Amino acid sequence: MADHEVVSREEWAALREKLLAREKEHTRLGDELARQRRELPWVRVEKEYRFDTDDGTHTLAELFDGRSQLLVYHFMFGPSYEAGCPTCSSMADTIDGALPHLHARDVTMTYVSQAPLEKLQAYKRRMGWQMPWVSSADSDFNFDLGYSRTEEQTREAFAPMLEAGPPPVLDHNARSTGTDVTGYLSQGPGFSVFVLDDGTAYQTYGTTARGLEFLMGYYGILDRAPKGRDEGGESQIWIRRHDEY
């Protein structure tokens, strides 16, 4: 950092003003993308999915909890895991405080994982979270939406990478969750959005991979720090659960 260019306050202000124009373009583009998300057509949810919750078995419609909009985060916690994915865990840390504000806008947010409910409840207590978290262990929900695979499907889908040797972040996350790389990759992160209209649920939006960064509040903060994300070539390998730093 000592070799970074240093200029006068006046020069800095001129360059900052130029960058601000680009930042405003980015903001306007974000607004336009948000509008286009809202205008996507809907797809009717045909199956009667059921989930294990703290209050018994619930249907997808019941997960809306009396509201018309449902946001679902597909949290990577598979049947072979002993703990939740550390990256998914870092995202979940930001949700509890947002829930009252989402509820005020007719939005329910919940987390869904493939692991049995008892594992999710124990991990939730460890992390100190309050957000709703349900198990789809006895449902095709995560499979149908593309965020869970059998181990056989996983080995087939990732055969070239598994044969070549997984990148360090996968080894790290697999060990951190108490499973092997194949077991870890049987789950994927994702975000699915639903609306309940006249008793019928429709999916309106979905995203995964870097489309999930809006949930990683620390990235937006780090992007404004002098060293940025400072990840080098090892994206996310530094991330730990909040009680492990």
21-51 pLDDT tens trace: 999 999 999 999 999 999 999 999 999 999 9
- With 80 as the cut, is the pLDDT of residue 15 above it? yes
Confidence at residue 235, expressed as pLDDT on a 0 to 100 scale: 82
pLDDT value for 218? 96
Task: Give the least confident one: 80-89, 116-125, 142-151, 233-242.
Answer: 233-242
Architecture label for domain 43-222:
3-Layer(aba) Sandwich (3.40)
Q: What is the mean pLDDT of the chain?
A: 96
Domain boundaries, the chain: 9-39, 43-222
Give the pLDDT score at 231: 92
Beta strand 69-74 pairing with 56-59: unpaired
What's residue 232's pLDDT? 85
Residue 211 phi/psi, 5-degree rounding, is: -65, -10
CA dist 215 and 110 (Å) reads 13
pLDDT at 241: 96
**What pLDDT is stored for residue 2 in this prediction?**
74
First to last CA, the chain: 24
State the pLDDT at residue 134: 98
pLDDT band at 184 (very low <50, low <70, confident <90, very high): very high
Q: What percent of the chain has pLDDT over 90?
A: 94
Least Cα distance to 111 among 140, 88, 138 occurs for 88
| pLDDT reported for residue 233 | 79
pLDDT of residue 226: 95
234 has pLDDT over 90: no
Vertex 94: Cα angle to 88 and 97 (nearest 5): 145
Give how far Cα 238 sits from Cα of 1, 111, 173, 181, 242, Å.
Answer: 20, 24, 10, 18, 12
Give the pLDDT confidence of 93-129 residue by residue, as tens digits.
999 999 999 999 999 999 999 999 999 999 999 999 9
pTM (two decimals)? 0.94
* pLDDT surpasses 80 at 143: yes
Report pLDDT for 154: 96
> Between β-strands 107-113 and 69-74, what pairing exists: parallel, antiparallel or unpaired?
parallel
Average pLDDT over residues 45-66: 98
Give 145's pLDDT tier (boundaries 50, 70, 90). very high
